[in-house]
Structure 1
Amino acid sequence: MLTIRNATLADGREVDVRIDTSAGRIAGVGSTLTHSGESIDAAGKLLLPGMIDTHVHFRQPGFPHKETWETGSKSAAAGGVTTVVDQPNTDPPTVDGEGFDRKAELAEESYVDYGINGGVTEDWDPDELFDRPLLALGEVFLADSTGDMGIEEDLFREAVERATDEYRVVTVHAEDADLFDEEATERPGDDYEAWSAYRTAEAEAAAVERAVEIGEEADANVHIAHTSTPEGVDAAKDGDATCEVTPHHIFLSREDYDELGTFGRMNPPLRSEDRREAMFERLADGTIDMVATDHAPHTREEKDAGIWDAPSGVPGVETALPLLLEEARKDNLSYERVRDITAANPADVFGLTRKGKVEQGLMADLVLVDPDDAREIRGEDLHSKCGWTPFEGMQGVFPELTMVRGNVVYDAGEYDEVTDGEFGGPVGENVRE
């Protein structure tokens, strides 16, 4: 047994938390627990459920020079993320049994728990995919012609119906390529705002509306990935869909292109400052369901190109929770809201019934932080293989300790081996219904 003593929860309660390390579960939460075995004094510290990042690209198989399961999961643990969900656009893509098995084998190197999503292309094999322990379907690229996994509406409808039959959430990348502004492509490669002008806000809202409509017809659980506009969020919430926002869409805007250059290119793109502020308001007031990072690292050399040649994507798995905790430290968010958008809500939406809260009987996926210990974010201090961050120079409150299934995997900058020789594991029947 391990007891975390005198910890403050997100709701302000000061409690002791007893952990059954052999079972990886929280054995008790209260103010009068009997202490036995090892203990950690957490006086003055905040104890949170580990973040569940439902949208990462750890790049394996296919692109280990950008990230690996080992480096990506170390970065996650250092940022207080205890569960990640990897998306299917790897090489080979996770669209059939062979692709899933290959990724699952590589994911065994993970320091945190993980789920694997299945993708949809013309060549996908739903029978093989749903025969595997698939967490969800997607990120499904609805009408996004700029990627090699974009699909048309008929195939999207088929995928939604099949996922509904299998009781799986469908995560949707919603941008209607027919509404992209082709005139913007005539602008020069050093006109960084051209990327935002090209991938219009209208393209997102239209695709969200269509995805939600198809989801409602199929009575499906549709989840909209990386919403970047208030119009997209409102379209999701007007229908029966959940949605996520990335840290870069609530902390960065088109005004940051002068500093970021092509390191600020992602899909969907950065939006106006007014839209960024509106997105943060929707996050704070409970409209947006969760934060997910869309952690999509590339090397500096790859990003150092013109706006039409640089790859899309930025790293973010290590800095998401620290950035949100800094907002809570400044009273722009409550700690309860941070807990909900990073842990409780993702667990609820994706059926991870034994994760997401500090409660007796649930998995001991926990993060301990000093809520007043803010520091500058620097890419050289982070653990992603790419070695840079779009949030350079901003303030974050980083974890002191991260625990996965009752095992300390990150402690004050060091990674600890757990007692049974394993690190994180697949999200399976032990953590979901």
Structure 2
Amino acid sequence: MLITNAVLPDDREVDVRIEDGRIAAVEPSLDGTADIDADGKRLFPGAIDVHVHFRQPGFSHKETWETGSKSAAAGGVTTVVDQPNTDPATTDGEGFDRKAELAAASYVDYGINGGVTADWSPEELFERPLFALGEVFLADSTGEMGIDADLFADAVERAGEHDTTVTVHAEDATLFDESVKDMPAVGAGTDANADLWSAFRTPEAEEAAVERAIEVAGDTGTDVHIAHTSTPEGIEAAVDGGATCEVTTHHLFLSRDDLDDLGTHGRMNPPLRDEERRRDVYEAVADGTVDMIATDHAPHTLDEKDAGIWDAPSGVPGVETMLPLLLEEARQDRFSYERVRDLIATTPAETFGLARKGRIKEGYDADLVLFDPTEATEIDAEALHTKCQWTPFAGLPGVFPELTMVRGEVVYQDGEFGDAVGRNVREHGGQ
């Protein structure tokens, strides 16, 4: 395949030749007849979302590997990393194998994270093509994945022995503000007083847990990655401690000011923060302090979210809207295209050892996204492909791809999908 007249994130106009699923040449001009004439449109490396919940097995009414990966492809995401809190949880060999069977339906490449619980089986997990440990819940009060410091330390040590990163959900439940629960919670759904959730799960809880996770990891040499940092304090603690960190699109673009409209649809963990903190987080993303953007794509049905603030499940969808929202920031000259590329592709690939992903360069996988940088559209929930069929970003402008390619195979083009070609990146030498 030959793509001609494409503009890269660094503004070079090039032709790109693809052979056997990889980029064979990137030059100002290449011989041959164009299969795709980009006509001056932007060509990006495919986005790598290191934090999704595709819900299978166990919760396929919310999302499946097919629907989630289609949503990813339509949003320019070519690799996803799925988290372990499914049913069964991915905490032993049986859980991993069950998820791997279902992941064969994926339209994009993927990694499978192993979970840590009191009865996890590290011997079985590390025998399999595991992407990382995570999302490891350190001192968290939600769900059944929370572990104590001793078990966390054991997991970190075992991960280090297998050169595996530990991804940490950092919230210290002892610093949640329990007095908030005594306040009246009015309504449900979009009529709920959803700000109570943000008041309950305090910013201090994040910073303390980040510091604790890094301290426990100590001198093991194990790589620690902090998931969904939502505060400037949490980001600073991660950077100071030598950990990498991600920021989600909802913490980047939404704040407590949006909760009057979102209601319980805006409940997530960590919660939305005040507008001043959101601006500080945005600045840390823009100036290079934050390593990457991820989505924590965590779909629930509208019926599930339309509950009281203490009963609604936490989480929002986002895998299809991440890159379009960031490309709109670049279109408005708030981010450079190179910064967007680094946040969603180059740095995630380097951080997690995906040696042939994240760049448009000879020898790399032909994971490519083509879009018109002048074409922004309003995000419409009905046009998205996630099974839950809603989004917290409805009405915001986004620049959506017109073509997404995984290892040289077109998986999405102009609203139509190709074949499900996804494979486990750890089964192919980390590629």
TM-score class, shorter: over 0.9
Number of aligned residue pairs: give it. Answer: 425
Matched, 1:397 2:393: no
What does 1:157-176 align with in structure 2 at a 5 Å threshold?
157-176=153-172
Query: How far off is 1:429 after superposition?
Result: 4.7
Q: What amino acid is the match of 1:254?
A: R
Give matches, 1:335-374, under 5 Å.
335-374=337-376
CA distance in 2 between counterparts of 1:17 and 1:186 reads 61
Structure 1 Cα separation of the partners of residues 355 and 218 of structure 2: 24
Q: Distance in 1 between matches of 2:293 and 2:182?
A: 34
Which residue number in structure 2 is paired with residue 86 of structure 1? 82
1:423 counterpart residue number: 421
Could you tell me which runs of 5 or more consecutive residues in structure 2 were left unpaired when the two chains were aligned: 187-192
TM-score by length of 1: 0.97
- Structure 2 match to 1:118: 114
For 1:138 and 1:192, the matched residues in 2 are separated by: 27
Maintained 8 Å contact 1:368/1:400 = yes
Deviation at 1:431, TM superposition (A): 5.5
Cα distance, 1:32 vs structure 2? 2.6
- Residue by residue over 1:169-192, the C-alpha shift from the partner in whole angstroms, topping out at 9 and shown as x without a partner, is 110000000000000111233321
Identity of aligned residues (%): 69
Structure 2 partner of 1:281: 283
Code of the residue aligned with 1:424 in structure 2: it is G
Q: Is contact 2:129–2:427 with CA below 8 Å preserved after alignment?
A: no
After superposition, the C-alpha distances for 1:25-62 in whole angstroms (9 at most, x for unaligned) are 001100132225x5211122000000000000000000
* CA distance, structure 1, for counterparts of residue 178 and residue 107 of structure 2: 43
**2-side partners of 1:166 and 1:54: how far apart?**
19
Q: Is the 8 A contact 1:17 1:28 kept in 2?
A: yes
Deviations 1:257-316 (A, max 9, x none): 000000000000000000000000000000000000000000000000110000000000
Separation of aligned partners in 1, 2:221 and 2:179: 38
CA distance in 2, matches of 1:262, 1:432: 39
Deviation string, structure 1 residues 63-111 (Cα, Å, up to 9, x no partner): 0000000000000000000000000000000000000000000000000
Residue 428 of structure 1 aligns to a residue whose secondary structure is: helix
Once the two structures are TM-superposed, the CA of residue 231 in structure 1 deviates from its matched residue by: 0.2
Cross-structure match for 2:51: 55
Separation in 2 of the partners of 1:91 and 1:337?
37
Aligned-pair CA distance for 1:215? 2.3
* Aligned AA (2:26): V
| Structure 2 counterpart of 1:305 | 307
CA-to-aligned-CA distance 1:316-354 (integer Å, 9 cap, x gap):
000000000000000000000000000000001110011
Q: Is the 8 A contact 2:132 2:164 kept in 1?
A: yes
Tell me if the contact between 1:325 and 1:338 (Cα under 8 Å) persists in the aligned partners: yes
User: Are the counterparts in 2 of residues 363 and 431 from structure 1 also a CA contact under 8 Å?
Assistant: no
Cα deviation, residue 131, structure 1: 0.2
C-alpha distance in 2 between matches for 1:416 and 1:122:
41
| Corresponding residue number in structure 2 for 1:314 | 316
Deviation at 1:217, TM superposition (A): 2.3
Instruction: Say whether 1:106 aligns with 2:102.
Output: yes
1:148 aligns with 2:144: yes
| Structure 2 residue 27 is matched with structure 1 residue 30 | yes
Aligned to 2:93: 97
Separation in 2 of the partners of 1:396 and 1:156? 39
Looking at structure 2, the residues matched to 159 and 284 of structure 1 have their Cα atoms a distance apart, in angstroms, of 33
Q: Which amino acid aligns with 2:384?
A: L
Q: Tell me the TM-score normalized by structure 2.
A: 0.97
SS at match of 1:62: coil
* One-letter identity of the residue aligned with 1:104: A
Q: Distance in 2 between matches of 1:186 and 1:148?
A: 24
Structure 1 unaligned regions, length at least 5? none
- The 3-state SS of whatever aligns with 1:217 is coil
In structure 2, the partner of 1:13 is 12
SS at match of 1:195: helix
Structure 2: how far apart are the matches of 1:321 and 1:335? 11
**1:424 Cα deviation after fit:** 1.1
Counterpart amino acid of residue 29 in structure 1: V
Partners of 2:50 and 2:294 within 8 A in 1: yes
Aligned mates of 2:158, 2:41 — CA distance in 1: 45
| Cα distance in 2 between the residues matched to 1:103 and 1:248 | 27
Corresponding position of 2:42: 46
Residue 324 (structure 1) aligns with: 326
Residue type of the partner of 1:42?
A
